[in-house]
Amino acid sequence: MAAAKPNCLIVCSSSTEGVSASSFIHAFTLTNSTFNVQIVTPQGRQIEYIRSDDSSKRWINEFRTKTISVPGKLENIQASRFSAILIPSSPGALYDLAENEVMAGLLNRFIEQKKPICAVGYGVAALFSAKNENNKSSWSFKNYSLTAPSLFELARAENFNSLPIIAEDFIKDHGGTYSASECDAVHVVMDRHVITGQNDQSTLCAVQNLILLCNGRHGKMKS
């Protein structure tokens, strides 16, 4: 009898600034073959996919015909039901996940239990929500090594001057260790149970590392 698949929660922004189509497609395609996947957004609002070419538009149009594409409510999620959290690259995360208290609570439960957390590109901003529950001025991911879009990458964005948060600055200012590779290069950082990818191009590598980490953890729990 085959072992039951672990559950993976994919958290996406529902802000109009959107979710990277290519990052989401890589994230969903890889995890859906290994996990039981559930997709959620704040209040269960629809996802706005951005940066899509003809191929990704076709994939998303087909995906939207499936029941699994309809996001559940982040507010209804119980951390105990999931083995992993994955946050694809979502520029919108800067606006609706970076200070989301429900997201913070979920991440804190995962940190306590050392469950795998993976965030890619702009999705790393969702990690900024997590504060120490006994000291709200202390970031839950301080002392972790992380990556996120570099200042150089962000500076090319049309809305750079209006971005509410610069990820590189936030990580450094709140006690984390930040690293980045050349612009547009794949760069993934794994520190304990937390995996971060620098940009959309890093999605594939980051999610592969998440799957390996979960498989190792799942194997230990069964033995």
- Give the class (CATH, top level) of 7-221: alpha beta
Ranges of residues in the chain whose predicted pLDDT is under 70: 1-3, 218-223
Query: Which pLDDT score, from 0 to 100, does residue 159 have?
Result: 80
Query: Which pLDDT score, from 0 to 100, does residue 26 have?
Result: 96
Three-state secondary structure string covering the chain? CCCCCCEEEEECCCCCCCEEHHHHHHHHHHHHCCCEEEEEEHHHCCCCEECCCHHHHHHHHHHCCCHHHCCEEHHHCCHHHCCEEEECCCCCHHHHCCCCHHHHHHHHHHHHCCCCEEEEHHHHHHHHHCEECCEEEEECCCCCEECCCCHHHHCCCCCHHHCCCCHHHHHHHCCCEECCCCCCCCCEEEECCEEEECCHHHHHHHHHHHHHHHHHHHHHHHC
Q: State pTM to two decimals.
A: 0.94
- Domain spans, the chain: 7-221
